[in-house]
Structure 1
Amino acid sequence: MSFTAIAIDDEPQALDVIGLHAAKVPFLDLKATFTDAFEAIAWLQTNRVDLIFLDIKMPDISGVDVVKCLPRTPMVIFTTAYSDYAVEGFDLDAIDYLLKPFSLARFLKACTKALDMHTVRSGSNVPDSIFVKTGYEDEKVVLDELLYVEADGNYLSLVLPTRKLLTRQTMAELLQQLPPERFVRVHRSYCVAVNKITKMARQEITVAGYVIPIGASYEEAVAAIRMRLIL
């Protein structure tokens, strides 16, 4: 499955970066880019896209106001150099918030989240459970019950409210089974359920009483989650 998008930013260089990144994402079709938000609004009156990459701080009209005035609101990924706009951006149910300058890896992560949402909106099935091999058996895990996953040598420990399951596979293999909008890797050895987070500190996350460290390589992903949960 793929989806269509446009990008709106008053800085041509920012649009160039989005264009270069978008060309490397196989499931993304970037239809047009605009430095003038009003031209984009007019274009959207007669054209439909699934996603808008949208700068927030622009002359004459903000990206937030652009979203509010659209008759049909596509998915939105905000792109800006100002972190103070995060709360207002997520108040509009933005898919993600990219803080400039952002890497291709971070851009791809945001696009993957948009693809997942597009898949849901299109009516495709999103799993509510998975099966993991425990010894010689395959055991069902209801995703609403999964708190977090911890790597333990060659095994993974799946932590649920009343039990732990041990399975022999890598974190990368398990993450392919988990919906990325619901689970995020916060450390080389840990993946957590976003809706089970009860506290977030600078270097650790608390999930149902369990304190989990944040790895330096995953601080950007955690920052995005923090913005989603700030309200």
Structure 2
Amino acid sequence: MNQSTISCIVVEDDPLPRADIVGHIHRTPILRLEGVFKDAMSAFNHIGQGKGIQLVFSDILMPGISGMELLKSLASPPLFIFVTASHEYAVESFEYNVADYLVKPYDYPRFLKAVDKARLQLGKAGIQETKSFITVKSGYSNLIVKHDDIFFIKADRVYVEIETLNKTHIVQESLTNMLEKLPPDRFMRVHRSYIVNLDYVEKLTPREIIMQGSIGNIPLGSSFKEAVFQKLGIG
């Protein structure tokens, strides 16, 4: 990574586990603690202020908004490490490409292993952001697609459809992984099944994104609407 430390926050309603995470963070030189929150909504507001948070340590089961709902509500979320007493959400969490899933109780070496996974993942994302294209597997070949050529990306079961200027590429990849490969200032998740290139957005309605030309309309997910409007400067 270019940065010497990783900026992080803690989201945990229970004071004892919260103190454990904070203690581990202070013990880990690579981590820089930027905030501690007792509920997910406070964390959501903090992340939305654009403070450059890179990593979130979050419980899942909390009053009001859960940690999982917090992750899903963010259009361009930081990397998450879930810290929870339940195994129940492990499979779903990894579908959203979390760095790790810590089950309480855990020790400091296990915590450090999770941090190292996050460090590696953030490092890869940083490398991708310097490029003007993405590389994806297409059969036995590596497909190079320029950012400028991408209109939108649509999830279709275990595949994604990359809609470009010239054709539609169908590749076996998750939408979350695709989002990580793309620059967040130009691409945004606007629906559970769609990522759009903001450069080609022409109009917005409460339920749809109208793209330029004859690209077609993209549904706007209710949980993504506020972030999309904010990103595009619409009150």
TM-score (norm 1): 0.52
Aligned to 1:229: none
Alpha-carbon distance in structure 2 between the residues aligned to 1:36 and 1:84 = 20
Q: Within the alignment, does 1:41 sit opposite 2:31 as a pair?
A: no
TM-aligned CA deviation for residue 61 of structure 1: 1.5
Structure of higher CA gyration radius: 1
Measured in 2, the distance between the counterparts of 1:69 and 1:84 equals 20
What is the distance in 2 between the residues matched to 1:71 and 1:12? 29
CA root-mean-square deviation: 1.3
* Alignment pair present for 1:23 and 2:31: no
Aligned equivalent of 1:7: 10
Count residues in correspondence. Answer: 124
Counting only pairs closer than 5 Å after superposition, residues 82-161 of structure 1 correspond to structure 2 as: 82-123=86-127
- Once superposed, which parts of structure 1, at least 4 consecutive aligned residues long, lie more than 6 Å away? none
1:83 CA drift (Å): 0.9
The answer to whether residue 64 in structure 2 is matched with residue 76 in structure 1 is: no
Measured against aligned partners, the alpha-carbon deviations of 1:154-196 in whole angstroms (never above 9, x if no partner) come to xxxxxxxxxxxxxxxxxxxxxxxxxxxxxxxxxxxxxxxxxxx
Amino-acid identity (%): 36
Aligned to 2:71: 67
Cα distance per residue 1:8-42 (max 9 Å; x no partner): 01112111101110111111111111012111111
Mark the runs of 5 or more structure 2 residues left unpaired by the alignment.
Answer: 129-235
| Kept in 2: contact 1:2–1:115 (CA 8 A) | no
Structure 1 distance, partners of 2:16, 2:52, is 25
SS of the aligned residue for 2:82 comes to: strand
Gaps of 5+ in 1: 125-231
Quote the Cα distance in structure 2 between the aligned partners of 1:32 and 1:92.
23
Conserved? CA contact 2:85–2:104, under 8 Å: yes
Query: What is the TM-score with the length of structure 2 in the denominator?
Result: 0.51
